[in-house]
Amino acid sequence: MPTPATLRASDLHRRLEAGEPLQLVDVREDAELELAALAQPVIHLPLSRSAEWLERLDTLLDRERDVVVLCHAGVRSWQFGSWLMETQGYERVWNLHGGIDAWSVEVDPSVPRY
């Protein structure tokens, strides 16, 4: 059973700084995204509203590019990344270890912790 690779916040930061064409997928809820967001653009796919985006998933995500999934602490994103790989056939999936909270601690302290 495939599972997403782990990506530390500092490694994600380096990859973004290097200009890698990563797709950042944030699965948190709207209120969480408003509280603490990355400065980079994300594809917002809140898990509780999957009925709104599920049928359009292949138009929202490019299978040829790495997908980096994030949430608050890394659990929901790992579950979503595993689902992407197991049921949707995506191969290049990464989970942001520790989520946005790790990003706040390791990379950008201006991103609020909650």
Q: What are phi and psi of 2, to 5 degrees?
A: -75, 145
- Return all residues near 114 (Cβ < 8 A) that are at least 6 apart: 32, 35, 36, 72, 101
In the annotation, is 71 catalytic? Answer: yes
CA distance 61 to 65: 8
Catalytic, out of 7, 12, 69, 71: 71
Is residue 93 within 8 A of residue 20, CB to CB? The reply is no
CA distance 62 to 57: 9
Residue type, 25: V
What are the catalytic residues? 71
